[in-house]
Amino acid sequence: MEHDEIEVLREGHPAWRLLRAGNAALVLSFLGQFFVVDNHGAVSSTELAAALDDQLHLLNLSAPDEPRYPRPAPDYLQDWAATESGWLRRFYPSGSDEVHYEATSDLEKAYAWVTGLRARTFVGTASRLETVFDLLRQIVHGAESDPEARLTELRRRRDKLDREIAAAEAGEVAVLDPTALRERYQQFAGTARELLSDFREVEENFRGLDRAARERIASWEGGKGELLAELVGNRADITASDQGRSFQAFYDLLLSQSRQEELSELLAGVQSLDDLHPDRRLRTIHHDWSDAAERTQRTVRQISEQLRRFLDDQMWLENRRVLDLVRSVEAAALASRESPPPVGLDVDVPGIEIALPLERPLYDARPAAEVDSLLDPEAEADVDISALFGQTFVDQARLADHIRTIVPPSSTVLLEDIVNFYPVEQGAAEIVGYLALTDDDLEVTLDETQETIIEYADSTGQRRARLPRVTVSRR
Amino acid sequence: MRTAQEQAVATAIIKLMRGVVYREADEDSWTLLERHAAPVRDHFAAIGVQVVVDDIEGYAYLRNADDEDTEEPLPRLVRRRSLTYNVSLLLVLLRKRLVEFEASGSEGKLVLTRDQMVDLLRLFLPDSSNEARVIDQVDTTIRKSAELGFLRQLPRQPGHWEVRRILKAYVDAQTLNDFAGKLTEYAGAHPGGDDD
């Protein structure tokens, strides 16, 4: 690579920028664990922020007065998804009102590089040489179209097998020694994990293909016939690309019943070899592959469907025309900016209103209420005034103090935890009191998707309150 | 007594009359509509209204049927309304954002913050040193567009608005063309715009 090319990468490549970032340790440890190691797909911002919150809390615990990471979790996430960073992809999926985040392959690259820095106990080279031989054989024989040559190769392989069978029958079995086994296992583990991380890049490549196709269509200046030719060419683009075909082949291979079974058996076999100290996570790596491949497959399906819609002849022309018209609207609007024209769009009003006058109730005269505040002095004595004093008063200042005692500045705690320390004394009113806190330094948020159960006792006995998950943050 | 079938058809008809039916927001009505498409269409056809169902985008709405060929057109049932200049401008600019959003291959929905819409509109509003007034104006415009059903505030994210795809059906090339024509005419009659 040349000097300038490296310079550009150093300045511009998200992975390299991540390595240079001030809080690289936080980004890599958190996002790496969450997305790469735990193999998560796109997640909602609440879920990711909650996970980051826990992490930040742990990291800040050592110095609660001068936290290392003082900002709230959502802020960090937004930064990491900004165009200048590019370690997370931020989008609103259809069907959800919440921002979702997804790791980019650049994050994956940076993480892989950092984990690669950790010294390995030994580096196996022999098994790699075997793999190289194997690959070479596949290439050479795979490209061989002469039947004679193919037969020679097949016979050679049969002879080799025959010799092995004869040796086994004579009682000689060549066993790999533990080092050779460990070495092969190491290579397997590396490849298996790399495969998992490759999916993210595959997905990004698909998105790139899609974007390129759309750009080409959007900027098309030629005639309609050429356009159609271009459209037909593009339609096949994504699935017929090298990327598309390789991915499809992988997917078919993985999904075939016999392969699945073989993989399960082999992985179980590997786990039972004591000398290897196998990684337990790898036992089910094929499920992780399936998950990740399924995710990618879904993305690809979505992308091609959207692209097909975008390519739809009529819509393309309509979009074209809309853009032209918008341009002329913009120009006219600019020209008469200082005196806005009294004209507007004429649009249909969605919905048809039916107003039935007789559906409304007739005027109903209410009797005037009479108020007599003068009490008969004799009746006064019997009035039960306990109801006036019986209303509960919840001292919100006390509740706020509870929170300030438990929650360190700029961190977040579940309401349940606060109630564990300061049991509810005034029943439901007190819980509502927490929710209604309006102090400047405290923030109470409700998460409707999750549920909390708070138990407390009042005069009627043990009670349970069921409410959305409540978190309390302190600024 | 209504039969179950009649009940379903009637429900679908009423839902449509109330406004746009979205697959995403109201699965039940959408399924009813899909299942009983024919009687629903017949019902509206009788009064010169067309049911438009967009399967891909996932919305359905009513439109006046084009019956220009007939000697005596029916009175309009779907009302047309002239929007204010500011609302029109915002809708046009949002329409453009939708096209760009699709052309960039982005998936999911287009969500804009209030500030982004302020930025969109600011260029076209009269120069004003009163920043607060400009923002108030934009807020009013956003509210009106939301009332018309073209914007939807995200429930748990104040200040974030989804641009609903139905905008494409209502602000189509034809509508835009009429508006552009009127504007150009106006700009021609009031060059510079400072003279009144």
Residues A110 and A132 occupy one common structural domain:
no
* Residue A156: inside a domain: yes
Q: Which of A115, A135, A159 is the last residue of a domain?
A: A115
CB contact under 8 A, B95 and A92: no
* Residue A252: inside a domain: yes
Token digits of residue A241: 């690309």
Mean pLDDT of B44-65: 87
CA–CA separation, B178 and B88 (whole Å) = 12
pTM comes to: 0.68
Note the Cα A46 to chain centre separation in Å.
11
* Residue A389: inside a domain: no
CB contact under 8 A, A344 and B178: no
Bridge partners (DSSP) of residue A346 are B82
Sign of the CA dihedral running A422, A425, A431, A437: negative
Q: Which of A290, A321, A352 is the last residue of a domain?
A: A321
State whether residue A351 sits within 8 Å of chain B by CB: yes
Residues A146 and A192 occupy one common structural domain:
no
Bridge partners (DSSP) of residue A414 are A471
* Residue A337: inside a domain: no
Give the model's pLDDT for residue A17.
92
- Expressed as residue numbers, the domain containing A158 is 125-168
Residues A289 and A416 occupy one common structural domain:
no
Residues A310 and A419 occupy one common structural domain:
no
Give the model's pLDDT for residue B194.
46
* Residue A75: inside a domain: yes
Give the model's pLDDT for residue A335.
83
Residue A99: give its domain's CATH number: 1.10.10
Whether the Cβ atoms of residue B171 and residue A345 lie closer than 8 Å to each other: yes
Residues with pLDDT less than 50, chain A: none
Identity of the residue in B104, B149, B171 whose CB atom sits nearest the CB atom of A350:
B149
Tens digits of residue pLDDT in B66-79: 766 666 778 888 88
* Residue A364: inside a domain: no
Give the model's pLDDT for residue A110.
92
Residues A54 and A138 occupy one common structural domain:
no
CA–CA separation, A329 and A344 (whole Å) = 11
Give the model's pLDDT for residue A88.
92
Give the model's pLDDT for residue B105.
72
Residues A71 and A151 occupy one common structural domain:
no
Residues A288 and A269 occupy one common structural domain:
yes
State whether residue A300 sits within 8 Å of chain B by CB: no
**DSSP, res A368:** P
Residues A68 and A103 occupy one common structural domain:
yes
* Residue A157: inside a domain: yes
* Residue A465: inside a domain: yes
Q: Is A430 helix (H, G, I), strand (E, B) or coil?
A: helix
**B96: closest CA among A216, A322, A313?**
A322
CB contact under 8 A, A92 and B20: no
Token digits of residue B29: 């009505």
CB contact under 8 A, A349 and B154: no
Residues A104 and A132 occupy one common structural domain:
no
> What is the number of domains present in chain A?
4
Give the model's pLDDT for residue B195.
43
Give the model's pLDDT for residue A383.
62
| Amino acid at site A219 | S
* ipTM rounded to 2 decimals: 0.83
Length of chain B: 196
Give the model's pLDDT for residue B4.
87
What spatial distance separates the first Cα and last Cα of chain A, rounded to whole Å? 48
Residues A295 and A207 occupy one common structural domain:
yes
Give the model's pLDDT for residue A314.
67
Residues A189 and A294 occupy one common structural domain:
yes
Q: Which of A321, A348, A363 is the last residue of a domain?
A: A321
Residues A18 and A84 occupy one common structural domain:
yes
